[in-house]
Amino acid sequence: MEGLSYLDFEKPRIVMFCGKGGVGKTTCASATALHFARMGLKTLLLSTDPTPSLSDILEVDVKGEVTRISGFSGLEAVELDYDLVVRKWVERFGSEVYEVVSSFLPVDREIIDYIAGAPGIDEEFALSYVFDFYKNGSYDVIVWDTAPAGGTISLINLQDKFYRHLGEAAKLYVRVRKALDVLVKGRVKRDPLEIISSWEKLAQEVLDMLRNDKTHVVMVTIAEALGVKQTERIVRELKTFGLRVSRIVVNYVYLEEVCECSFHRKRFGMQRKYLDILEEKFGDIGIAIVPQLPEEVRGLEAIEKVSRILFP
């Protein structure tokens, strides 16, 4: 069982931390970001979790704005504010959405606010937000604390479907274009087909970013039956979408029997059993262990301790 030191040598562009809520995903992501910053790499620590805890763990307010973390040259962090995400979506795509919709229907610009409130718009734009950092090359490494596993899978699935549906939308528009030109004559300033094609290109680029060889997924889990089952399912689904799962981190592990009481003896034995199962199932990926620590992990000093465990 190893740490995450292998990531040094492969020089990742993105390290995604996935896992169900409450397994220490944000802590492991923060510890990894500190490690890369110590290596001299310009690092962005980014959280797109809709119920974020990054500011609380860092003890630095990073909500909504990219913030430099003092004491670590080259380390910056941001926690997405989803109200801000929706506003940014309107600024970036609102006019384009209006152009496309108004080419089909006689609608006013109020349609933009209606669509901005649709379920999934904020999560979808979160991917575009990550892609902007990736594309502009401002950072050597982006350490990404994703939404709890179910949300991450849904988001990737949504992006994949969105890309495929855009292709169908373009074909449909070509077939009915003459009729639509008659219905909405004079209302459309820009060719909707051009806009749809630009969205399709962006969706493909985002998927390419997720599937790139330098994008690593690190699964964070716990040594319990539910942790094993969810890890199996999530790893399988991520691989289906073409993402590279590079390590399994098992958190909150008792490394030895801490006392002679029945509770700790049973818990130690239970964890040994599930660690063996995880090793059997994912030994080819590799297992890293983070022990159960006596103190809560809050603040940069405590995160440093976890960093030294993950990168011995």
What does 193-243 look like in DSSP terms, one character per residue?
HHHHHHHHHHHHHHHHHHHSTTEEEEEEEESSHHHHHHHHHHHHHHHHTT-
Does 239 score more than 60 pLDDT?
yes
Centre a 10 Å sphere on the Cβ of residue 163 and count the other Cβ atoms it contains. 18
If you average pLDDT over residues 278-283, what whole number do you get?
A: 92
Among 110-119, 170-179, 218-227, name the most confident range.
218-227
Q: Comparing 33 with 198, which gets the higher pLDDT?
A: 33
If you average pLDDT over residues 50-59, what whole number do you get?
A: 89
Q: Scanning the structure block, which residue is given the tokens 């990550």?
A: 130
| CA pair distance 269, 278, nearest whole angstrom | 14
**Alpha helices (H) in the chain, listed in sequence order:** 6-10, 25-38, 54-58, 82-102, 110-116, 121-136, 149-183, 192-211, 225-240, 262-282, 300-310
Q: Comparing 201 with 276, which gets the higher pLDDT?
A: 276
User: Per-residue confidence at 71, pLDDT binned at 50, 70, 90?
Assistant: confident
What does pLDDT average to over the chain? 81
Give residue 169's pLDDT. 54
Give residue 69's pLDDT. 95
Give residue 141's pLDDT. 95
* Nearest one of 25, 32, 208, 218 to 130, comparing CA atoms: 208
Please say whether the beta carbons of 37 and 71 come within 8 A. Answer: no
Does 253 score more than 50 pLDDT?
yes
What's the pTM? 0.83
Q: What is the DSSP letter of 107?
A: -
Three-state DSSP class for residue 32: helix
Residue-wise pLDDT for 168-186, tens only, equals 555 554 555 454 454 445 5
Q: Comparing 32 with 80, which gets the higher pLDDT?
A: 32
Please say whether the beta carbons of 216 and 10 come within 8 A. Answer: yes
State in words which class domain 6-84+121-310 has. Answer: alpha beta
| CA pair distance 137, 141, nearest whole angstrom | 9
If you average pLDDT over residues 178-201, what whole number do you get?
A: 60
User: Per-residue confidence at 91, pLDDT binned at 50, 70, 90?
Assistant: confident
If you average pLDDT over residues 227-237, what whole number do you get?
A: 91
Residue 159: partners with Cβ closer than 8 Å, 6 or more residues away: 124, 127, 203, 206, 207, 210
* Nearest one of 71, 80, 77, 7 to 45, comparing CA atoms: 77
Three-state DSSP class for residue 181: helix
Give residue 175's pLDDT. 52
Residue 46: partners with Cβ closer than 8 Å, 6 or more residues away: 77, 78, 80, 130, 133, 142, 143, 144, 145
What's the number of CA atoms in the CB half-sphere (13 Å) around residue 178? 1
Give residue 183's pLDDT. 47
Give residue 262's pLDDT. 84
| CA pair distance 157, 160, nearest whole angstrom | 5
Give residue 182's pLDDT. 47
Give residue 205's pLDDT. 85
Write down the domain spans for the chain: 6-84+121-310
User: Per-residue confidence at 24, pLDDT binned at 50, 70, 90?
Assistant: very high
Residue-wise pLDDT for 26-49, tens only, equals 999 999 999 999 999 999 999 988
Three-state DSSP class for residue 17: strand
User: Per-residue confidence at 75, pLDDT binned at 50, 70, 90?
Assistant: very high
Q: Scanning the structure block, which residue is given the tokens 């040594």?
A: 223
Centre a 10 Å sphere on the Cβ of residue 225 and count the other Cβ atoms it contains. 12
Residue-wise pLDDT for 291-303, tens only, equals 998 889 999 999 9
